[in-house]
Amino acid sequence: MVQGKIYIIAIAVIVMSLVLGSTCFARLSDDDLMIDGISLGSLIQDVVDKYGEPTTKKDFTWNNGNFCLYDYHGIYQVTFLKSSGSIWFIESQATHLATSAGVTVGMTEKSLMEAYGKPDSKRYSNGSQVYVYENDLVIKELNFVLDNKGYN
């Protein structure tokens, strides 16, 4: 079984995807860009209402924007833009949380491909293969990080 992380990333990865000149194969709707019912653009209050207060909070500045990271026990992280309170980044390492297509951490590459089809692009990050799926607006992405077990 492939162990990895499920990422949903907005803005930060798009520049890299466009620079790589990816050919788009699988366009996702906004509903596809959810983990356990929480999506990019949702308000941070939606996360607090669902999961309670985070175990840690960290404020930071990136690319002239002020953000806050809410971390839930190191397995579920949500980053939001402080000016709007809207979610900008979600990362899950929790095997019990699924995307809207039912994909969870620990599923096989085959299961991922059956759920989402061929990715828009692939790249390597920190020794792991990343499958990138974009939505129609090309402003949001759903990324799956696969470990290097059994992959070339």
Q: What is the pLDDT of residues 130-142, one digit of tens each?
A: 888 777 654 566 7
Closest CA to 60 of 19, 12, 14, 93: 12
Residue 65 domain flag = no
Instruction: Please check whether residue 104 lies inside any domain of the structure.
Output: yes
Q: Tell me, what's the pLDDT at 99? A: 85
Please indicate whether residue 151 or residue 131 has the higher confidence score (pLDDT).
Answer: 131
pLDDT band, residue 49 (cuts 50/70/90): very high
Average pLDDT value for residue range 55-76: 92
- 55 inside domain: no
Q: Is residue 70 part of a domain?
A: no
Q: Please check whether residue 8 is in contact with residue 89, taking contact to mean a CB–CB distance below 8 angstroms.
A: yes
pTM of the model: 0.72
Note whether residue 64 is domain-resident.
no
Instruction: Tell me whether residue 130 is in a domain.
Output: yes
Does residue 80 fall inside a structural domain? no
Task: Answer for the pair 133, 142: CB distance below 8 angstroms, yes or no.
Answer: yes
pLDDT for 9: 33
Measure Cα distances from 45 to 42, 66, 67, 112 in Å.
8, 17, 15, 30
Number of domains making up the chain = 1
Print the domain residue range for 141: 4-47+93-146
> Is residue 34 within 8 Å of residue 18, measured between CB atoms?
no
Name the band, by pLDDT with cuts 50, 70 and 90, for residue 70: very high
Is 13 contained in some domain? yes
How do residues 77-118 score in pLDDT, each as one tens digit?
899 999 999 888 888 888 888 888 888 888 888 888 888 888
Q: What is the DSSP string of 58-81?
A: EEEEETTEEEEEEEETTTEEEEEE
